[in-house]
Structure 1
């Protein structure tokens, strides 16, 4: 059981169980980005639409399965779900490896297997978020969320590097095998974790998806969190579909320089885990979110006039830092406000809004940029972010104390 060690930057990692699971998830995230980048490179000869579909096929399972998976998770033990989904994704990865060895990797078949792996990820996600209060004390949830964000952003840097190296060394099957191994390792780590016993809802009570929707919408705190996700996540997400366009057309850079931009964003996001405790001492949750909106908006307005790589990298650092700080704070606040019997479904709604919004938003921003250009699209996103920041003056979360969590370690 995790011991309370305060909210130091790396506090959650001081617990052996959380550290092992975090490292396994880090390995899995690197494996996922390794496979994604390798498949995107493989799809290049088949056109830009096929390249985009490599990531797009993962959005559909999130939108369709996440809430039912949350309902299932709220009524059952989390450990079998976590282990089972990892083994399911491992099987999908092995299938891709076998196809690569046979020289039979076809775009449609690869996308179909990716869709199945995405289904496994969508079913796993609610249980993953639901177990966080079992892994760390309540006051360390924000730090755990920041560390999880750091894991994702570091994976965005090292995953493509690993994928490219493996493709060059042994072919695309190497990236598939690396990702498959990451699923197996994560399954073993989850299998060794000792789950706390949390009573399931009695038969005929609770467990409905509509209960979670009503619970979120009727709560001032939870509905405010969702509003901030809607007005920040998809809008700040403009950076992902348009950053390569900006790198190519404004910086006149190649793929290597684009990788440097991604690394700069990942570095800014990665620093968040170390600085978030100090930041929260001086700023309320509202102020953190407001700063994230306005700094990100300023970055979007400045980038089109920047034609030097290193200046663009410097501009991305504070935007990435504050974006992850804001999202980590929202994730922790959502978990604080959910009861044990509602946590998986509530966090499923959170993830649908965040991931689904960013997926749909990416399409919208891409269409706008196609008609009006990158600079104009960045300006529209900046205006929305400015208004989102203003809304924190009226829809407040405040500097609320961290409440006790039912079922959390003591």
Structure 2
């Protein structure tokens, strides 16, 4: 048991990562409290409109479509610590302003739209910088462990945040939760400022120019990166709309209050947390087959959650769906990040963020309209089915790509030859271009 724990928490032996994890735990808990408060405020302002909730989600993620690739270039060129400090201060100010409006009773739907767009813009800069910064904290050897632990503290916050938010909203209203979130951003700012710069695993040199298209070409030229990225795009766009589907499921299908909604979100997050701890023991780059299987399993569980006839069964299936979501996300992240040239890591992780989260506005609008017209269950059913079908399609492409070419007869020698390299050599080229 002691060796298991030592392996699972190995990255926490590094001081800089401990600081980072502690700051993020507080900040992310505040963020998830804000998600519940913001969604509940929108439903109160609009009379439970799924379309309005979809618009808020779309606005919060739309900047990822526009700015994330350029933000990846910023992360490759500049000090990631400074980028993270600036982004967290900006997010705190925005949350504070919206909280004040809610506290004074002056909050309107367009205010929520505006602040969602502002927070999304800040996140477009912060996310690729944060994801690629983990490698600088622990080095490439410990990246899978640190990444999984990052998912673990993220989901610890995801368990505690919504549950606490549901209670606080019931007792004090949404404004209190928003103001607490504003303060929580200071935890990351303080943690990053206290890090020892000389202990970071920084690249020997940063590129003066980090062209976005160079990162795109790097990814497109690597089939071992492209196929999991396609899966990430489909699952992220249609399968990961829980910020929209869960409040609608709680309020319009099971007719629960904010506290019960928080518990549904907590069940989902608890499964995610279990998956995160499961992946802390991963060493090395996962196989593409594992990524495909994880996407298929997630899709099946989400579909079943959408069909759940009762609140307790829905909570149980959301526990499994949460496990599947993080297991897939971690497998895809490790497959892509550990296969990427360090010089392109910021831009490739910006691409990862773009296709995983930046496509959410499109999916959120679609799922929001479907949920309003066909019921809240339709959002989960569409997301689950699309994820499973995408896994099947990528599997077919993968199997066809690994199939050796049929032999043909050389016209000059009469010997049997092949039009393509063998799967073994092709695999080597994909893993080590």
Q: Are 2:305 and 2:317, in contact at CA under 8 Å, matched by a contact in 1?
A: yes
TM-score by length of 2: 0.78
1:264 to 264, 267, 276: 267
Judged with a 3 Å threshold, the aligned counterparts in structure 2 of structure 1 residues 305 and 41 are, in CA distance, closer, same or farther, namely closer
Residue 8 of structure 2 is matched in structure 1 by 9
Contact 1:9 1:273 in 2 (8 A): no
**2:68·2:354 contact (CA, 8 Å) conserved in 1?**
yes
Q: 1:198 aligns with which of 186, 194, 203?
A: 203
Kindly indicate whether the alpha-carbon contact (under 8 Å) linking 1:43 and 1:51 is maintained by their aligned counterparts in 2: yes
Q: Which residue does 2:363 correspond to in 1?
A: 361
1:318 counterpart residue number = 320
1:211 counterpart = 2:214: yes
For 1:384 and 1:350, locate their aligned partners in 2 and report how far apart those are by CA, in whole Å. Answer: 19
Please name the residue that 2:232 is paired with.
229
User: In the alignment, which residue of structure 1 is the partner of 2:33?
Assistant: 34
Instruction: Provide, for residues 349-369 of structure 1, a one-character-per-residue CA deviation record: whole Å limited to 9, x for no partner.
Output: 110100022332232233344
Q: TM-score, normalised by structure 1?
A: 0.82
Deviates more, 1:382-391 or 1:93-102: 93-102
Contact 1:250 1:304 in 2 (8 A): no
Counterpart of 1:408? none
Cα deviation code 1:71-101 (max 9, x no counterpart): 1221111111111222222333343455456
2:127 to 125, 128, 148: 125
Q: Where does structure 2 lack aligned partners over 5 or more consecutive residues?
A: 403-423
- 1:158-207 deviations in whole A, cap 9, x for unaligned? 2233334444555544323311211122111111123334344454xx41
Correspondences of 1:140-155 after superposition (within 5 Å): 140-155=142-157
CA 56–385 in structure 1, closer or farther in 2 if over 3 Å, else same: closer
Q: Distance in 2 between matches of 1:238 and 1:184?
A: 28
Greater C-alpha Rg: 2
Give the gaps of 5 or more residues in structure 1: 405-410
Render the CA deviation track for 1:220-250: whole Å, top value 9, x for unaligned: 2221221121233334225553344445565
Aligned length: 395
Deviation at 1:291, TM superposition (A): 3.1
CA distance in 1 between counterparts of 2:122 and 2:246 reads: 29
Query: Shift of the alpha carbon at 1:123?
Result: 1.3
The alpha-carbon distance between structure 1 residues 79 and 368, as it changes in their structure 2 partners (threshold 3 A), is same
What SS class does the counterpart of residue 190 from structure 1 fall into? helix
Residue 351 of structure 1: aligned partner: 353
Cα distance in 1 between the residues matched to 2:253 and 2:175: 35
Cross-structure match for 1:24: 23
Q: Secondary structure at the match of 2:203?
A: coil
Residue by residue over 1:245-286, the C-alpha shift from the partner in whole angstroms, topping out at 9 and shown as x without a partner, is 4455655655544433322211111001222256779x9533
The two structures, once aligned, show a CA RMSD in angstroms of: 3.4
